[in-house]
Amino acid sequence: MPTGRTLTLLGLTSLVFLVSTPAALAADALIVLLALIDGRRTRPPSASRQVSRISSLGAVTDVTVTVANESARALSLKLTDDLDPSLRRLAGPGGQDDWEDGFLVDVPAESVLRCHYNLRPRARGFLPLGAIHIRTRSPWGLVWHRSSVQASDTLQVQPGVRDLLRDRGHAIHRRLRTPGPRRNRQWGDGREFESLRDYVEGDDPRTLDWKASAKRRKYVVRNYEAERSQNVILAIDAGRHMRERLPPVRAGEVAGAGGDGWREVAPSDAQGGPLDRERMDYALGACMMLASRAQNFGDRIGVVVFDEHIRHVSPPRRADPPSLARTLAEVETRLVEPNYPLAFATLGRSFRKRSLVILFCDIIDGSVSRALVQSLARIGRAHLPLAIAIQNPALEAAAVRPAGDAVDAYHRAAAEEMVQARSTTLQVMRHAGILVVDTPPGDTLVRTLDKYVEIKERGLL
């Protein structure tokens, strides 16, 4: 490719046409010949790329491109490389704009230069990074010599949890940060005896140990540990409702609404701020942290992923967060209706032992909701069902937004109807004995863990 210098020279020779056409053509031919010779003298450098094999959704990942110049002269280069559309370079020095147009670097003779940029994955899965493209300026600066290095890397993007844990004062952080190996004792209403202690007002009289009380001549109660080595089944709806992109809204926030105690959600920024995620991403983040917590209880984790078909079934096994992360990284949502009867019929056949079945979903469509309630009520005879319903903040905002004209009034009425239908369905589920957690997207992880710990401590399973 000609450089600006070559184009400038060709432009200047065009003035010679005013004097002599043959002389101008000869000058143009000479410039082209020199450019061809200069291009053949160009020797491109070798290049390689280093990138982490695993990253989390929304996390900033560093990429290093190493250029090795083995020639005896300095080289001026432009670098870029191919990325999956779901990988976004971040702006900044040597960032998005520079690399898209070609990152200009000078490599000294017989030396190695490392160039860095940051990218941010915006989708889960196995995302490819392709060839490295190099433009090398020729010795006389007349042409760019184009070359490519067929580098092939794959970034495994797992469900992220860091951005979802925004309440830094929550008790979960204090428990997770406690250092050192230990046996994590979780008092609850289980059947495993842990210790004796003095009775205090408010204790359940059923926990009184009458023999110990008679010996000590004061009331003594038994402490029990929460049940261990139980089954937890993660039932993940991968249908169309889980494909919606939602901001990380928490309780007390509504996207796009302000005033009256509701705070607007700040927009996402390109430097690593909160991103709108699929509803599925909030669910998978909660699954990841729940698997980590299940290790403390010694529980076994099973997985069922479904939409209109069964996509994945994993039998219950000891909680292994890295293995679960690899499984969940491959989960893809599809624009189809979920087949709840098929999913829970498969679950009932595959998992015989009584288990805590945690379903991540949302409740909008009436016919689908009826199938969901019937299916959950049916498996409730053998298992303990828990539905995690992730709200749509935009729908909640539309239902409370003041109407400025007839169109706004129509939108608000439709939103109110959908919110009311959703609330009615959740109430029907509760009356059917199904445990329900109705949560904003940003609270999904924390509320799921809180409910899981509550179930363990109360011995409901």
Read off the tokens for 375: 């299916």
Measured between alpha carbons, how far is 38 from 145 in angstroms, rounded to an integer? 10
Same domain, 277 and 350: yes
Residue 171 within a domain: no
Residues 6+ positions from 406 with CB-CB distance below 8 Å: none
pLDDT at 262: 40
In a domain, 286, yes or no: yes
Taken as a whole, the chain contains a residue count of: 461
179 lies in a domain? no
197-222 mean pLDDT: 79
210 lies in some domain: no
| Same domain, yes or no: 353 and 393 | yes
Assess if residue 198 is contained within a domain: no
Q: Using CA atoms, how far apart are residues 213 and 211, in angstroms rounded to an integer? A: 5
Predicted local confidence at residue 311, as pLDDT: 93
pLDDT digits (tens, 9 = 90+) for 40-68: 888 888 899 999 888 888 788 899 999 99
Instruction: Report the domain count for the chain.
Output: 3
Residue 193, phi then psi, degrees to nearest 5: -65, 135
Residue 129 sits in the same domain as residue 251: no
Residues 105 and 36 in one domain: no
Q: Which domain holds residue 66?
A: 46-158
- Model pLDDT for residues 382-439, shown as the tens digit of each residue: 999 999 999 888 888 888 888 888 888 998 999 898 888 888 888 888 888 899 999 9
The type of residue at 310 is: I
The answer to the question of residue 196 being in a domain is: no
Q: Are residues 103 and 11 in the same domain?
A: no
My answer on whether 345 and 378 are in the same domain is: yes
Query: 23: pLDDT confidence band, cut at 50, 70 and 90?
Result: confident
Looking at 142, 158, 174, the residue that finishes a domain is 158
Domain C-terminal end among 98, 125, 158: 158
Tokens of 89: 């370079």
If you ran DSSP here, which 8-state letter would residue 423 be given?
A: H
Tell me: do 110 and 259 sit in the same domain: no
Q: What is the CATH number of the domain that holds 432?
A: 3.40.50.410
Q: Are residues 387 and 446 in the same domain?
A: yes
pLDDT computed for residue 397 by the predictor: 86
Q: What is the CATH number of the domain that holds 142?
A: 2.60.40.10
- What average pLDDT does the chain have? 81
Distances (CA, A) of 313 to 106, 233, 388: 53, 10, 19
Its pTM surpasses 0.85: no
Q: Is the pLDDT of residue 268 over 70?
A: no
Q: Among 361-370, 394-403, 446-455, whose mean pLDDT is lowest? A: 361-370
pLDDT tens string 313-353 = 999 988 888 888 888 888 889 999 899 999 999 998 889 88
Residue 170 in domain: no
Q: How far apart are CA 442 and CA 340, in angstroms?
A: 26
Pair 418, 448 in one domain: yes
In the block, tokens 């940029």 appear at: 117
The alpha carbon of residue 226 and the mean position of all alpha carbons in its chain are separated, in whole angstroms, by 31
Instruction: Give the pLDDT mean for 11-36.
Output: 83
Judge whether residue 272 has pLDDT over 80: no
Q: Considering the domain boundaries, does residue 285 fall inside one? A: yes
pLDDT at 101 over 90: no
Per-residue pLDDT at 260: 42
Closest CA to 229 of 286, 296, 327, 314: 296
**Do residues 147 and 282 both lie within one domain?**
no
pLDDT for position 42: 82
- Verify that 33 and 81 share a domain, yes or no: no
Q: CA 221, CA 350: separation in Å to the nearest integer?
A: 40
298 and 370, same structural domain? yes
